[in-house]
A and B are shown apart, each in its own frame.
Chain A
Amino acid sequence: MTLTTESMDGDITRVLLDGRLDIEGAAAIDLRMNVLSGSAKFLLIDLRNVSFLGSMGLRSIVVPAQAVRRRGGKVALFAPVPLVEEVIKASNIDQVIPVFHELETAVATLR
């Protein structure tokens, strides 16, 4: 699992994840996600290249999202593949962290 970031207009930090967000993948990104959640105002988590998501991986998304929200920021998920999106929906995460497939819509919602 790799994590790269990209600054976008509107104070949005785009986090691009690549690989499997399983137990090992979650351990690989937790520290950086926590650092990002302490500084980013608007976080767009790009899941398009995430091929697997389990509950430990969800934790790596939820904990930073809660931290950003506590500081008055916003978080959105972008472009999960169908099986990853099924996990997100089965966990009801989509009810509180919006999921988008159109970048423009995601950005407009975060701003």
Chain B
Amino acid sequence: MPIEEQPDLLVLDSRLAEVSRAQSWAEALADTLGLRENTRYAIRLCLEEALANVVIHGYQNESGHAIVIRRWISSDTLFFAIEDKAPPFTPVGDPPSTSEPISIESLRPGGNGIRLLRQFAGSLVYEGLAEGNRLTIGFSIQPS
């Protein structure tokens, strides 16, 4: 497995239908690297949650905006950096309460994306850009 790899890049349109393209792109790399099932699951999940967040909350489901994903490997960690030009939004702030929900009525449908992103990502770094956001998600790919 290479220790360093040149960044690879994928550009998506800001539509939920595009998310699967990023997941397929990541899975092709996962196949090449022979990643374990739990790592592959975490990558698929985190890309889905992060990209859905950009499309739904960042761009309010408005298509026509570019979302750029770069991926690279450094020191046995696979990174994905997601850049957009939506209004600032960080999923890395205060953790959601772990005591909620207490009843089925209090469940917020679709409101678990950030929680899952934090739970399944190996590392999560948010940077506010001059114009937009960058979220870098890391996954350990150390052999078991």
Name A's B-contacting residues (CB within 8 A).
22-24, 52, 54-56, 58-59, 62-63, 65-66, 69, 83, 86-87, 90-93, 95-97
Contacts and interface: CB of A to CB of B under 8 A. Distances in A.
Contacts, number: 78
Contacts of A91: 112, 115-116
A92 B119 contact: no
A63 B52 CA distance: 18
B129 interface: no
A58 B102 contact: no
B110 A56 contact: yes
Contacts of A93: 107, 112
B116 A55 contact: yes
Interface residues of B, number: 31
B109 to A, nearest CB: 4
A95 B102 contact: yes
A87 B38 CA distance: 12
Interface of B: 16-17, 19-20, 23, 37-38, 41, 44-45, 48-49, 52, 98, 100-107, 109-113, 115-116, 119-120
A49 B101 CA distance: 26
Contacts of B17: 23-24
Nearest to B108: A62
User: Which 9 pairs, one residue from A and one from B, show the smallest C-beta to C-beta distance?
Assistant: A59-B110, A55-B113, A91-B112, A59-B109, A96-B104, A55-B112, A90-B119, A62-B109, A54-B48
A54 B105 CA distance: 20
